[in-house]
Amino acid sequence: MTEKKKKTTTTKQVKSKKESEKPVKKPAKKAVSHKPVSHKPEEKFKEVKAPSNVIRWKAPDYYTFEKSPYWSLGVGLLAIILSLVLIYTNNFFPVIIVILTVIITFQVAHEKPKTEEFAVDEGGVLSRNEYLPYTELKSFWIAKHGKKSILYLEPLGRFRGPIAIPLGEQSTAEVRVHLLRFLPERLEYGEMFSDKLIRIFRL
């Protein structure tokens, strides 16, 4: 009986030693959920959409020229002479076109252009509430006449003419240096023919 008791005690001791030698499992750590920090709409807009380098300026939608009373008198006399010639040659329908052209010319000539906001940034050009990416533009050039400067942008489309942007009081050198990073400059180009006619006839 004593030997049996000794065997049972020794087996119990061996089991207890084996259990004590087993590695103790540590409680699993709870997964910490990293929630994205909520930004205000204004801060998010500044972080994502705001370019690092922006040049902004305001200028009239188009350049106008001071018109003296002699300008109005000259246009009126020219219209009268042309109308008399057409009547003398029995071309009555073109006389109506001449009269309508004179009326529209006087209206456009005496209208004041609206002030628009323009800008150039790292992605494109803002012109009259329209954003033009550099990927849709082919080249640019700047034409000067006196104190007035115009920035011309050449689109990629064949059937689209150059886009004229008045620079107003904005530095032409600053705009030119910025655009040279993204577009080639057409040094051989100058003032558009339509703008030249407007300047000559002071419309």
pLDDT digits (tens, 9 = 90+) for 33-48: 444 444 443 333 233 3
108 or 168: which leads in pLDDT: 168
% of the chain at pLDDT higher than 70 = 67
pLDDT digits (tens, 9 = 90+) for 3-34: 444 444 455 454 454 454 555 555 555 544 44
CB contact at 8 A, 66 and 119? no
Of 201, 148, 196, the C-alpha closest to 172 is 148
Summary count for the chain: helices (H), strands (E): 6, 7
- Quote the tokens at residue 38: 């909520």
pLDDT digits (tens, 9 = 90+) for 68-90: 777 778 878 888 888 888 888 88
- For 39, residues 6+ apart whose C-beta sits below 8 A from its C-beta are 47
What is the mean predicted confidence (pLDDT) over 103-128? Answer: 86
Q: Tell me, what's the pLDDT at 38?
A: 43
Of 152, 138, 156, the C-alpha closest to 194 is 152
Q: Tell me, what's the pLDDT at 201?
A: 61
Neighbours of 166 (CB within 10 A): 18
176 or 3: which leads in pLDDT: 176
Amino acid occupying residue 138: K
Domain ranges of the chain: 120-200
Of 203, 187, 91, 190, the C-alpha closest to 149 is 190
What CATH class does 120-200 carry? mainly beta
55-84 b/e with 16+ CB inside 10 Å = b? bebebeebbbeeeeeeeeeebeeebeebbe
Say how far apart CA 99 and CA 82 lie, in whole Å: 10
Instruction: Establish how many alpha carbons lie within 13 A of residue 185's alpha carbon, considering only the half-sphere containing its beta carbon.
Output: 14
pTM: 0.58
Most confident of 20-29, 44-53, 141-150: 141-150
Beta bridge pairs of residue 132 = 125
